Structure 1
Amino acid sequence: MSHDPSEPDDLELFRQATQGARRIKVDQADTGKARTDRTRIKTLRQGAVQPTNRVRVDGMSDQFVIDVLPEEELIWAANGVQESQLRKLKSGQIPFEGSIDLHGLTVEKARELLWAFLAEANKMEVRCVRVTHGKAQRKDGRSPIIKSHVNTWLRQHSQVLGFTSCLPRHGGTGSVYILLKRVMMEGRDD
């Protein structure tokens, strides 16, 4: 195929089309999304697990936290709890009567809310509750903080008989069903 010298070539056509255009000084696209402040996130994460100097009266220790994986199923029962009860709990056959969502909170705030929630459930003589702890798939490969702490705290709580990860429709491995002791209140006729 021969080229007609009277017609402009591609380079000349490009120059004509871009005449008056200014060269872009920045070679990165602006997506409109704010940049991640990695220093701030690191500081917040470190602050979430830093112990405070105040004295705890709830009996739950953070001295040894059992690390768990994001998708790991949690299951635990206190001595004397029948396997059939734990199976019913795991299969969702024991309806939960209250629920709390802790994911996204600091460890201290999660601890406070969990303690208050379990105390209220005990006062109301609730048999089963659900706690959503999340599973925080972390980029650094470390274990989910709140899930690991909840797993540890529940094993220490005097009113907890057992707990298991929830069915998928109730949060799956990001939540637990908790079986609680029922303390009969004085003055009740049952």
Structure 2
Amino acid sequence: MNQDQDDADELELFRQATQGVRPIQVDQADTGKPRVDPAQLQSRRARAVEGKQAIRVDGLSDQFVIDVHPEEELAWAANGVQDGQLRRLKSGQIPFDGSIDLHGMTVDRARDLLWEFIDEATRIEVRCVRITHGKAQRKDGRKPILKSHVNTWLRQHPKVLAFTSCLPRHGGTGSVYVLLRREMLEGRDD
């Protein structure tokens, strides 16, 4: 067999195989991605901008969150807090009169509840509270989000004098004792 005969046989086989096939009209591939409606896209963009413009008046910033490790002990004191006071807090010698459990919550929800909790505690003149933030030993190796945020927020809160990780029986590194500033109210004898 010669080359021309082979080419003719292949051409005939090709014609038989493609018999009944119509040429495509659109030469763009369908990637399977849903088509985006421009009006819906504009609406989503507008909502995203609105969310970013919401102003928090609580004074707690999330801009520079200090990352902490799950087992890291936390300790901080404002200027003027004596070392002995911080040691007493750390050793659990200052009893806590209120407690809140934030772990498992979203950052926004935890922030709102933390602010309300500290506000209420200072209003009724509680001296020390316990905040449970959890340790969130994450499988992806990232730092615990809520523990890091609580650590940052407490440093910024105007009513917080000091905080330190709890004793193991009160939650260990998954909780903190928080020493609060008290207002001297009229008629108080102490």
- TM-score, normalised with respect to structure 1: 0.71
Cα pair distance change 1:53/1:74, threshold 3 Å:
same
Name the structure 2 match of 1:108.
Answer: 108
For 1:52-131, what aligned pairs fall within 5 Å after superposition? 53-131=53-131
Q: Give the drift of 1:52.
A: 5.1
Question: 2: CA distance between counterparts of 1:63 and 1:136?
Answer: 21
Question: 2: CA distance between counterparts of 1:91 and 1:156?
Answer: 23
Question: 2: CA distance between counterparts of 1:93 and 1:52?
Answer: 43
Q: Give the drift of 1:188.
A: 2.1
Ranges of 4+ aligned residues in structure 1 off by more than 2 Å: none
Structure 1 unaligned regions, length at least 5: 1-50
Question: 1: CA distance between counterparts of 2:169 and 2:52?
Answer: 36
For 1:26-41, what aligned pairs fall within 5 Å after superposition? none
| Identity fraction in percent | 75
Cα pair distance change 1:173/1:52, threshold 3 Å:
farther
For 1:125-164, what aligned pairs fall within 5 Å after superposition? 125-164=125-164
What does the per-residue CA deviation read over 1:99-121, in whole Å, with 9 as the maximum and x for residues that have no partner? 00000000000000000000000
Q: Name the SS of the counterpart of 1:69 in structure 2.
A: coil
Question: 1: CA distance between counterparts of 2:52 and 2:147?
Answer: 20
Name the structure 2 match of 1:188.
Answer: 187
Cα pair distance change 1:173/1:56, threshold 3 Å:
same
Q: Name the SS of the counterpart of 2:114 in structure 1.
A: helix
* Structure number, greater radius of gyration: 2
Question: 1: CA distance between counterparts of 2:78 and 2:121?
Answer: 18
Considering fraction of residues, name the structure with more helix: 2
The CA RMSD over aligned residues, in Å, is 1.1
Cα pair distance change 1:189/1:168, threshold 3 Å:
closer
Name the structure 2 match of 1:4.
Answer: none
Count of aligned residue pairs for this structure pair: 139
Q: Name the SS of the counterpart of 1:162 in structure 2.
A: strand
Q: Give the drift of 1:131.
A: 0.1
What does the per-residue CA deviation read over 1:6-56, in whole Å, with 9 as the maximum and x for residues that have no partner? xxxxxxxxxxxxxxxxxxxxxxxxxxxxxxxxxxxxxxxxxxxxx854210
Question: 2: CA distance between counterparts of 1:94 and 1:107?
Answer: 28
- TM-score, normalised with respect to structure 2: 0.71
Q: Give the drift of 1:164.
A: 0.2
What does the per-residue CA deviation read over 1:54-105, in whole Å, with 9 as the maximum and x for residues that have no partner? 2100001000000000000000000110000000000000000000000000
Name the structure 1 match of 2:39.
Answer: none
Cα pair distance change 1:66/1:53, threshold 3 Å:
same
